[in-house]
Structure 1
Amino acid sequence: MSARFAPVRRGPYDLIVVLFVSFLLLSNIAATKLIEIDVAGATLVFDGGAILFPLTYILGDVISEVYGFKPAKRAILLGMAVSILASLVFYLVQIAPPAADYDNQAAFEAVLGFVPRIVAASVIAYAVGQLINAWVLVKIKERYGEKNLWVRLIGSTLVGTAADTAIFCVVAWAGVMPVATIFNLMIVGYAYKVAVELILLPVTYRVVAIVKQREPNYEEIA
């Protein structure tokens, strides 16, 4: 009897989803550190996840624009599942007895320790923000067609990022940090994520065009 193998579907969707989930996981780890910088006399506070997390919205836009809401929802839920799994793994490693010559238990707990409130904030904010982002983009496209891609890219980001940032900051830090600091985190985080979207808009345009060209089943409606 000859060996059997399932054929691999060729297409950019799987690669985009892998990058989407990877960027999300890395951002969640980096978000455990708060960063503070002074710019023109103003103190800006943001978490380390802000460095990479905006790219998840760009990749989410690409998925929603090319494949629609259901495939985007699938990618978002996959990212959520991986985030929850990562948190559980970190928790199991945290509570596992350290080796006699392992001196970094406290450091591990400080950086990757399971904090239920932070995990809940991250998962809820991510899911709500990304789903809103995808839904808004698809609805705009369904109503106005292929033209003015920039309108749906920016419009969906403005709404989705606002929900994501507000939910995370409130759930994670309310009652723990001063209201002024939480407000600072919201404003800086939101402005930064939107700015990244605007700066990388030409790149997003190019990626969307390439993916559409490589999907033979994509039907463009002029």
Structure 2
Amino acid sequence: MSDEPVKTADQSAPRRFKHYDRIMAAFVTILLLSNLIGASKPSYVILPGGMEWSFGAGVLFFPVSYIIGDVLTEVYGYARARRVIWTGFAALLFMAFMAWAVVSLPAADGWDGQEAYEKVFGNTWRIVAASMIAFWAGEFANSYVLAKMKVWTKGKALWTRTIGSTVVGQGLDSLIFYPLAFYGLAGWPPELLWQVVISQWLIKTAWEAILTPFTYLAVNWLKREEGVEIFDTDTNFSPFAAGDR
């Protein structure tokens, strides 16, 4: 698992990449499905000694979007990762609008699925807002930390920045989402809420660590395929900046 750079690219020169669009599609797909299917359901595992430990079901898949975000920043740089983050944000916004519109439509006579449909897809404004804010803050923090650490480490020790950025990004995501979405709601007592927040953070970070060998493989393969090695030494880190710098 080598950290050796492949080739330094001039970020100012416009170019097309072979796999950038595919990675963007994978990122958005995992982001939408993990938010649609897993975000609202708390589950649990039984720890040694019989203690029941709760966690959010979406934690099984949502961290993959952060791993892809790490790969994007490491290979293509912060500015191109920023474009993908905004694409995911727009997709989440449309998903929320579509869910609201479809759930609000009157059910046809004879269809008995409206109640179940509302329970699964009828997220409140709190959940939607919490999801959007947490995703935006967490992903940009993750990308920023990784880009800065890559410069500090001179491209060495990839694992330090993938895990380090996840500790910050996923921690911020969990800390924002669950309190904003569920604090004070029936079925979410404070002790359960904070247990889920901590569980999400620890499990997401553990996922990143476990999948580190695969991250190395993906990063090194992409750098060879794309012929690129970007260091964000003069990048505009504003989330609202345009362009590839």
Settle same-fold status: TM greater than 0.5.
yes
Match of 1:17 in 2: 24
More relative contact order, 1 or 2 (CA 8 Å, 6+ apart) = 2
Q: 2: distance between equivalents of 1:147 and 1:37? A: 37
Task: Confirm or deny: 8 A CA contact 2:76 2:230 kept in the other structure.
Answer: no
Task: Confirm or deny: 8 A CA contact 2:39 2:58 kept in the other structure.
Answer: yes
Match of 2:35 in 1: 28
Aligned with residue 213 of structure 1, among 218, 224, 237: 224
Aligned with residue 196 of structure 2, among 173, 185, 210: 185
Change (3 A) 1:182 1:58: same
Change (3 A) 1:188 1:220: closer
1:212 counterpart letter in structure 2? K
**3-state DSSP of counterpart to 1:45:** strand
2:103 counterpart letter in structure 1? Q
TM-score (norm 1): 0.91
Aligned with residue 39 of structure 1, among 37, 43, 47: 47
Q: 2: distance between equivalents of 1:107 and 1:220? A: 48
Q: Following TM superposition, where does structure 1 have runs of at least 4 consecutive aligned residues deviating by more than 2 angstroms?
A: none
Q: 2: distance between equivalents of 1:14 and 1:39? A: 41
TM-score (norm 2): 0.83
1:75 counterpart letter in structure 2? V
Change (3 A) 1:220 1:98: closer
1:196 counterpart letter in structure 2? W
Cα deviation, residue 143, structure 1: 2.3
Aligned with residue 153 of structure 2, among 138, 144, 150: 144
Q: 2: distance between equivalents of 1:90 and 1:169? A: 20
Total equivalences in the alignment: 212
Aligned with residue 118 of structure 2, among 109, 113, 123: 109
Specify every segment of 5 or more residues in structure 2 that has no aligned partner in the other structure, as ranges: 1-15, 232-245
Whether 1:120 aligns to 2:117 is no
Q: Which has the higher helix share?
A: 1
Task: Confirm or deny: 8 A CA contact 1:32 1:112 kept in the other structure.
Answer: no
Specify every segment of 5 or more residues in structure 1 that has no aligned partner in the other structure, as ranges: 1-8
Task: Confirm or deny: 8 A CA contact 2:75 2:230 kept in the other structure.
Answer: no
Q: 2: distance between equivalents of 1:167 and 1:59? A: 21
Q: 1: distance between equivalents of 2:132 and 2:219? A: 27
Cα root mean square deviation, aligned:
1.4
